[in-house]
Amino acid sequence: MIRKVYIVIVVLAQCAIFFSAISAQPTPAIDTAQLNIITFTPLKAVQENSSLPAEFAQAEKGIKQVIERIKQKYAIDTHVLVSNAKTKKQTLVRVHRGVPSAEKQYDTKTIFIYSPGLLVGPLGTMGVTRTRSDGFNKDINITISNGVGAFLVYRYMRFGLLNGTTVTFDYPTDARQLLNGGQRADVVYLKAVYDEVVRNNPQANIVFVGDCKGGTTILNVLTHPEFAQHLTQVKGAIIESPPLSFKHMASAIANGYLGGFPGTAATIHGVFRLFMPSYKDDPQEHTVLNAQKEHIPTTLPLLIGHIHDEELIANEDMVSLVKKLRSTGNPNVCFYECPRWVKDDVTNKEEKIRHARLGQVAEFQHVVNAFCQQHGFPCDELLVQQGKVLFEKLKMR
């Protein structure tokens, strides 16, 4: 009870701090040069205990230096060593600014586009910074719209979840005044990145990947009446923990943290609207849940990942989402639900899985790779073998 009262006090205190919030700013004109578009391309991998080739020894350890160059707006074209968090497999990855080019020597037949979630939240450390570790450095300082996408892609690669050329970027809308939770402003940015990738790689198959509001944005662009028909090169999507709207999130927080007392959901939703003036609380605002049936993919492979009873997304919301996505008869919608507590297969200890942290779960790693193998996307064959049986069961859920 004390914890619940404390949370209410914190929310109200933050509300007071930001009470004088300025009015919403219009969506800025799209200039992709300002989005910190970064490409990661795995070049070569060696197993644990293998002798490392010379180019591995010269590669940067971890993502810290890349993040610093992003913040300083410096040129980036380097090699980074990615060490799998569990198998210890070492992968040499080229990291550079901008989208890949079809003329490059490395494979761009399939390109993943990672739509990042909100790593630096409006209330997290006052919405300014978040300190993270990359497996080599424990003091990486992440700031809003400065390397969030790059950090999350590196993290996914460490868990064996992205095994091919991957493009990511930063949403300018991560800033509190522009935050809209996957609504139109975010959709426009994601579409702009897609257009630039396709313009430079006209034959590539695109796979969207995203977590949290980045996943919400993917769902909204795929079903948007204005944009859906212009995404012809999208061949699949992997989406983790997507909140369907701030209103849905407010209800989940009220029920999960505040016991579902009458009025708490509406109060939290009101706080969201106050903090985030660009968020549109309008029934006419497009979301995947109000999408018309003719705009919902009928065959597109979709993998939805969810943590049961997590703090920000209600279980019934994910059930409604999957039902909506399957309403067209799409046989390629796969739903993976992870228990809140999972035994780590390395430490053998029970660990609480928090929002948008599914990547660390071994089962999810297996399922993602089995999904990719099933649909012809780059994958880790070892993880595929471990996930095939479970993946087949999930398709039937």
CATH number reported for the structural domain that contains residue 113 in this entry: 3.40.50.1820
Confidence of residue 163 (pLDDT cuts 50, 70, 90): very high
pLDDT above 90 coverage of the chain, percent: 56
Measured CA to CA, the distance from residue 378 to residue 363 in angstroms comes to 18
Averaged pLDDT for residues 51-74: 91
Question: What does the DSSP assignment read for 214-246?
Answer: HHHHHHHHHT-TTTGGG-TTEEEEEEES--S-H
Residue 253's domain spans which residues? 2-394
- Is the model's pLDDT at 337 over the cut of 90? yes
Cα distances (angstroms) measured from residue 152 to each of 72, 112, 120, 254, 357: 19, 13, 12, 28, 10
Amino acid letter for position 264 = T
The region of weakest confidence among 11-25, 102-116, 177-191 is 11-25
In degrees, rounded to 5, the angle at the alpha carbon of residue 274 between the alpha carbons of residues 271 and 279 is 105
Residue 46 tokens, joined: 């060696």
Say what the pTM is: 0.90
* Identity of residue 104: K
pLDDT given at position 25: 39
Q: Can you tell me whether residue 79 is helix, strand or coil?
A: strand
Angle value at C-alpha 55, between 52 and 57, nearest 5 degrees? 55
Average pLDDT, the chain: 86
Contact of 239 with 210, CB cutoff 8 Å: yes
Phi, psi of 10 (to 5 degrees): -60, -45
pLDDT score, position 29: 58
Structural domains of the chain, count: 1
Residue 289 has pLDDT above 80, yes or no: yes
Q: Give the tens place of pLDDT for each residue, 169-225.
A: 999 998 888 888 899 999 999 999 999 999 999 999 999 999 999 999 999 999 999
Q: Is 296 helix (H, G, I), strand (E, B) or coil?
A: coil
In the chain, what percentage of residues exceed pLDDT 70?
Answer: 87
User: Range with the lowest mean pLDDT among 25-29, 49-53, 234-238?
Assistant: 25-29
Say what the pLDDT of residue 252 is.
83
